[in-house]
Amino acid sequence: MSQNNDKLVIAGRAFTSRLMVGTGKYASNEQMVRALEASGAEIITVAVRRVNLDRSKESLLDFIDLKKYTLLPNTAGCYTADDAIRTCRLAREAGMSDFVKLEVLGDEKTLFPENEELLKAAKVLVKEGFTVLPYCSDDVILCKKLEDIGCAAVMPLGAPIGSGLGIRNPYNIRIILDAVKVPVIVDAGVGTASDAAIAMELGCHGVLMNTGIAGAKDPVAMAEAMNLAVRAGRLAYRAGRIPKKLYATASSPIEGLVE
Amino acid sequence: MQITINGEERNIPGQTVLQLLQSLDIDPRRVAVELNLEILPKAEYESAPLADGDRIEIVHFVGGG
């Protein structure tokens, strides 16, 4: 089965890799560069923050080849629609691209989405021409609303951000996949390669992660593991798995046994 | 004159936004600027004068998920 034509299409743009990765929490920029390379990702998330006036020379973009990667600025740390909208406008001006990962958080302990504010922000941003990829709860009703507003994808969480708990509610993800037509990208919660593979085997169109890679003992090796897992999971999904059965089915023929 | 840059009060001589960025050693291509809560398009950095009491935010991309 050819993987060449199996592209992830978001708002008319086609991507070969279905793994999106963050750029936070690495021990060094050099380590980040090697992990990004190993992940095979084409879309990478970044945060928008004030320039440190005393150390203004330091720039993340000195380490990132913008011909190779599409930046997806996030609104991490925003707790209201207004803050998230403001951050997106700044991101567009800084990066000259309309892609944004919209997140509006509900509280610091869980980092769960504040979905009312998320919907409010998404409406405004879509009207302003942004390509909005919202981080949201794994709730089909909400995902439908985000799609109806005009979001380019939905990005339900697998588990809390940075928790590494994996896909806690695969059935909810399945229901979302049945209900929406835009790409479904699991964002947050992936801890290891099998979690990413599970998301892809469910039929998700992509996976986004940061801590799962950057927090591993060897982030570069984990980035490669995630790259393989996302590809393996996608291929298994497309190949069509066998149905689960309670009892055995022999793999070898019954006929011709030595008697 | 007194202006607020990224929440810090600073006393600076009269100048444009571009001159301020240069004096802070900031590459204008790598940042976004908000002047009194309005995004300032890059094309206007050179012509936009700063006034006493202005609040300016200068942001850029950092590592994040």
pLDDT (tens digit, 9 = 90+) per residue, A54-75?
A: 876 778 998 999 999 999 999 9
Taking the whole predicted model, whether its pTM rises above 0.90 is answered as yes
CA gap A46, A24 in Å, rounded? 8
3-state secondary structure of A147: helix
Question: How far is B54 from chain A, CA to nearest CA, in Å?
Answer: 17
Q: Is A25 a residue of the active site?
A: no
ipTM over 0.90: yes
Segment A103-123, tens digit of pLDDT = 999 999 999 999 999 999 999
CA gap A211, A200 in Å, rounded? 19
A2 has a pLDDT exceeding 90:
no
- In B6-54, DSSP assigns E strands to 8-11, 32-35, 38-40
Question: How far is A214 from chain B, CA to nearest CA, in Å?
Answer: 10
Inspect the interface and report whether the beta carbons of B65 and A60 lie closer than 8 Å. no
